[in-house]
């Protein structure tokens, strides 16, 4: 069995997982795949944030987080369907909002420093990746269209 070919065939396919393909070399099929995965990731994560925030803590629901999480889910659906540049810009602000929340509410003595650093690094990586997504959304109408059997 050739594990490398299986890995490349099912896990790392340039058409369905084009994360290292430069944006100017993408086609619309690759752009669709990348946008869909990004929207699913943010949509599921912020749907969970919204639902957990509805329960809230001892003070009750955190309405700001509930509304923001719901708005991110809506923007993710709009971006996945319409490939809207404005929705991509809104979604690209989610790591900044999460970093702000972490700074104002997440730094406490009960949380380990390593945990805070790990979450911060993940959010910074997501922020860096959001620049790529915004660039894909900006250039999406100009990306070449590829037929399914052409790949």
Do the beta carbons of residue 46 and residue 69 sit within 8 Å? yes
Domain residue limits at 77 = 26-141
In a domain, 2, yes or no: no
Q: What is the pLDDT along the chain (151 residues), one digit of tens a residue?
A: 666 776 666 566 666 767 788 999 999 999 999 999 999 999 999 999 899 888 876 666 788 889 999 999 999 999 999 999 999 999 999 999 999 988 887 766 677 788 888 989 999 999 999 999 999 999 999 999 987 655 4
In a domain, 3, yes or no: no
In a domain, 9, yes or no: no
In a domain, 126, yes or no: yes
In a domain, 106, yes or no: yes
In a domain, 12, yes or no: no
The total of structural domains in the chain comes to 1
In a domain, 5, yes or no: no
Q: How far apart are CA 17 and CA 145, in angstroms?
A: 17
The neighbouring-strand residues paired with 57 are 60
Neighbours of 59 (CB within 10 A): 6
Q: How far apart are CA 91 and CA 132, in angstroms?
A: 12
pTM higher than 0.75: yes
In a domain, 98, yes or no: yes
């Amino acid at each position: 069995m050739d594990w490398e070919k299986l890995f490349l065939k099912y896990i790392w396919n340039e058409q369905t997982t084009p994360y290292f393909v430069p944006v100017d070399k993408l086609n619309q099929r690759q752009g669709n795949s990348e946008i869909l995965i990004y929207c699913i990731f943010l949509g599921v994560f912020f749907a969970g944030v919204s639902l957990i925030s509805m329960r809230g803590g001892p003070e009750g629901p955190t309405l700001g987080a509930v509304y923001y999480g719901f708005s991110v889910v809506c923007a993710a659906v709009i971006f996945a369907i319409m490939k809207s540049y404005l929705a991509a810009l809104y979604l690209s602000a989610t790591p900044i909002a999460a970093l702000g929340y972490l700074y104002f509410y997440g730094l406490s003595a009960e949380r380990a420093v390593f945990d805070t650093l790990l979450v911060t690094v993940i959010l910074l990586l997501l922020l860096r990746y959001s620049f790529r997504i915004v660039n894909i959304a900006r250039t999406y109408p100009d990306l070449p269209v590829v037929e399914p059997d052409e790949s």
